[in-house]
Structure 1
Amino acid sequence: MNGKDYYIPAAAMAIALAFKLPALRYSWRDPLLRSVCALLTLAGAVFTFAAPPTIEAVNRWTGITNVSAPLVYCLITAFSASCLVLIVNWRGGPPERTRRTSRRWILGYSAVIVLLVVLFLLGETPVERLRDFDTYYANTPYIGPMIATYLLAHHVAAVVMVAMCWRWSLQVRGWLRAGLMIIVCGYLFNLSYDAAKMSAVVARWTGHDLDHLSTFVAPPLASVGALISAIGFVLPLVYQRLSDNWEIWTTYRRLGTLWQEVQISAPEGTPCVRMSWWSAAELRVIQRESDIHDGFLHLGPYFDKDRRDGAYAHARADGADEETARAVADAAMVAAAVRARTADPEGKVIGAVEESFLDTPDGPRDLLRISHALRHSPVVEAVRRQTAASGGGRPV
């Protein structure tokens, strides 16, 4: 593998991280989001510093022969810990237990990182090796154990990840299960990487030469495994985000009928709040709900409880359930109030006793159901025709 084979995955991780950083700025206390950002950062760092050109540059800048080796090993170890912590936070559970488990993995792998640094400082690596450090120094005092330590730590993390994700995938469905299965596939490549590296190192210990497994076979396996695993981590999170956005935009669209219906109730000269095209969907929904509530307040003097009770009775007689009948009744009252307000342009009815609309014994009104009833209910349409025939006035 040449430099670009490492830098392209690193760039992909950096782009994914760039999309996550704005969310981290506002939700930095979210352990799941922090874990995702840590994983993407460490994955990008591993690819960047494991590239032969970077290895050579770091060795030259520091003036320490082969200092890139423990640096890359420490990054791989930290990345392994970040994967375990992400899975722990992703799966959730009691917060205290989640924090305790995450802390244990972090402390355990931090100890491994310290051990790697100590072993490198105790050993000697006078000959710079850009691609075959593992096998070249496999039999060197302190350096050989350092290599074995990082491989063992990586292997333990891979085995635990496969076991955790596989067991969890049997308990869930949908995109989450797909993501977990993709992670398992990615870590099977990581296990193959471990097998290739360990085989080459053990071969050196026994006087044989399988260096090609470490030099030429293992790096592509690690690259493919990391990319597949990253897809598995990101896919369910992206799907959940898209699903949430779709639901929010659907809510915004479904409220449109009710929002347009009550616009007529706004007094002349009322300023219209215009949202910029880049405004968040959540903010748009909040603004639309606020406009609807303001419209209800202006329509209050024209609300007719008898009209609502009559519509409710008709809806129940037609077989509607309780919630649907309430929504139809409220929609009919709104439709009648709008026409009554239109028939009273000078606002002569203003000052009459307002009907309480938003607060009811059963809780807040379901604006989505009311909006749907305004558009589709035959009872509401009948009320519209009746109020149009009577000139929009309230029935006596």
Structure 2
Amino acid sequence: MKDLLHPISLVTAALGFLCLMRDVPTRRRDPASTALVAVFLLSGLSFLFSITPMWEYFDRELGTVNLSVPLAQGCVIALLACQQVVLTYWGSPPEVARRRSRRWLGAGLAVIAGLLVLFALLTPNAPHPNDFTLYYAHDDWYAAYLTLYVTAYTIGELFLARACWSLARRSTRGSVRFGLRVVALGATVTLGYSAVRISNVIAGAFDASLTAWESFAWTCGDVGAMLTLIGWLVPTISDQAQSLQYRVKQYRSYYKLRPLWLAFYSEAPEIALPIDRVDPAQRRRFRGIAIKLYRRAVEIRDGRFVIRQYLDAEVRQTSAAHHRARGLHGQDLLAAVTADQILAGIAARADGSRPAPEQLTEFADAERQTSRPMDDIDALLDVASHLPRQPVRAPHLERVSA
């Protein structure tokens, strides 16, 4: 059962580790994020060390039989401490979190040191990758080793489940609440593993065996661990999904604004912001979609400023009456009128026919409130949606707008 479930758990831990590593550069100063990355790394290592081929490889290369036991279980104790660090930073002020985190990490290191000492006192024997606990169940030193490990493991999982339920109730983010509850469920499931291992210690004292319960123990341990890892990933996956959605929206907005940009550029090419004088080392920044979209929006705003002195009040009134008759109202009406004003203003500038001062007006959507960065983009997109599908093109546009 162990060699069936551990590879699945290892893949889950590896995928989660890679998913979290994507955000490390932007969160390198966040102790909670660093600790969470360590949780997935240590979890993956614990499963890797316990798989029979890797167990046999260590025995063969290092010359110390069953060394995978303290390596794997040391990783488990360390990841339990790291999980508490994550929860401490999520639920406490930084000063308090730092102090409590040091205690958890110190306790974890103390338990790992104790496990190594007790393991060194075991009588060396042949490798037992599949029945190590059952084989050593009657050894007094192993009883002490297993008691220390299971006690620390059980306490860690109980604290984890309790802290996750408590923090989930206080969290305002849905993904965090759901993820923490899944973590708490996984920690609860792993207690089945603890129960069997505690029973192993008791059974050894009475010369009994719990061979029939080994599959149950490994199932609880692996299923609980996978649920825990999945729960930790939920907020990260949610954040990355929102980030991807936002990035896709930026790309779509950039290309949807092209007709509006072309309309201005065909009459006023001076709106294009020059980047040929930018330092080559910094020019890569201008290739990102966020900068390109921002640049396009600025150029469109510059284009609006250029033709502002050609806006005729009569055009605005006629356009408003026409679109009201079509059933438009609210922001949709203002965007449609603004699109007509832009086309009329571009044509007037091309002809050099400026309206009389008393006939000058503002863009219909000039009073639209844009409090967030994408609000301004949305306002421009609304206007672009009312432009003709085939705007006027200048022969040199493709090179500049690429």
Q: Partner letter of residue 136 of structure 1? A: Y
- What's the offset of the Cα at 1:255? 7.0
Task: State how far apart, in whole Å, the 1-side matches of 2:257 and 2:69 are.
Answer: 65
> Secondary structure of 1:343's match?
helix
| Gapped regions of structure 2 (runs ≥ 5) | 276-283, 321-328, 355-361, 388-402
The superposition leaves residues 204-252 of structure 1 with CA deviations (integer Å, 9 ceiling, x where unpaired) of: 1233322432x33211221111112111111232122212332443465
Aligned to 2:113: 114
Q: Which runs of 4+ in 1 moved over 6 A?
A: 305-308, 324-331, 346-349, 360-365
Q: Which amino acid aligns with 1:133?
A: F
Distance 1:332 1:223, change over 3 A: same
Contact in 2 for aligned 1:331/1:370 (Cα 8 Å): no
SS of structure 2 residue aligned to 1:23: coil
- With normalisation by structure 2, the TM-score equals 0.73
Give the Cα–Cα distance (whole angstroms) in 2 for the partners of residues 66 and 87 of structure 1.
33
- C-alpha distance in 2, partners of 1:334/1:35? 52
Question: What is residue 79 of structure 1 aligned with on the other side?
Answer: 79
1:291 matched to 2:332? The reply is: no
Q: Which has the bigger relative contact order, CA under 8 A and spacing at least 6? A: 2
Distance 2:310 2:93 in 1: 48
2:145 matched residue in structure 1: 146
Whole-Å Cα distance in 2 between the matches of residues 145 and 370 of structure 1? 69
1:74 shift after superposition: 0.7
Distance 1:20 1:363 in 2: 31
Whether the aligned pair in 1 keeps the contact of 2:81 and 2:108 (CA below 8 Å) is: yes
Partners of 1:41 and 1:342 lie apart in 2 by 63
Q: 1:345-356 residue pairs with structure 2 within 5 A?
A: 345=350
For 2:123 and 2:296, the matched residues in 1 are separated by 73
Structure 2 distance, partners of 1:254, 1:93, is 40
- Preserved contact between residue 187 and residue 228 of structure 2 (Cα < 8 Å): yes
Give the partner amino acid of 2:292: Q
Look up the match of 1:130: 129
Correspondences of 1:219-238 after superposition (within 5 Å): 219-238=218-237
Q: Does the 8 A contact of 1:161 with 1:187 survive in 2?
A: yes
How many residue pairs align between the two structures? 360
TM-score (norm 1): 0.74
Q: Which amino acid aligns with 2:41?
A: T
1-side partners of 2:106 and 2:163: how far apart?
20
Q: CA deviation at 1:34?
A: 2.0
Alpha-carbon displacement from aligned partner over 1:24-55 (angstroms, at most 9, x marks no partner): 24543333432332121111111111122322
**Could you say if the C-alpha distance between residues 341 and 168 of structure 1 is closer, same or farther in structure 2, counting changes exceeding 3 Å?**
same
Of residues 288-297 and 251-260 in structure 1, the stretch that sits farther from structure 2 once superposed is 251-260
CA distance in 2, matches of 1:240, 1:363: 22
Deviation (angstroms), 1:21: 2.7
> What is the aligned counterpart of 2:376 among 367, 370, 376?
367
Q: 1:362 to 1:60 in 2, by over 3 A?
A: closer
CA pair 217-330 structure 1, distance change in 2 beyond 3 A: closer
Percent identity over the alignment is 22
Deviations 1:93-143 (A, max 9, x none): 422333333222112101111111122224433354323323433443433
Alpha-carbon RMSD across the aligned residues, in angstroms, is 4.3
Deviation of residue 347 (structure 1)? Answer: 7.5
Structure 2 Cα separation of the partners of residues 35 and 307 of structure 1: 62
Q: Show structure 1 runs of 5+ residues with no match.
A: 274-278, 316-323, 350-354, 381-396
Q: How far did 1:256 drift?
A: 6.3
Structure 2 distance, partners of 1:245, 1:103, is 35
Correspondence for 2:18: 18
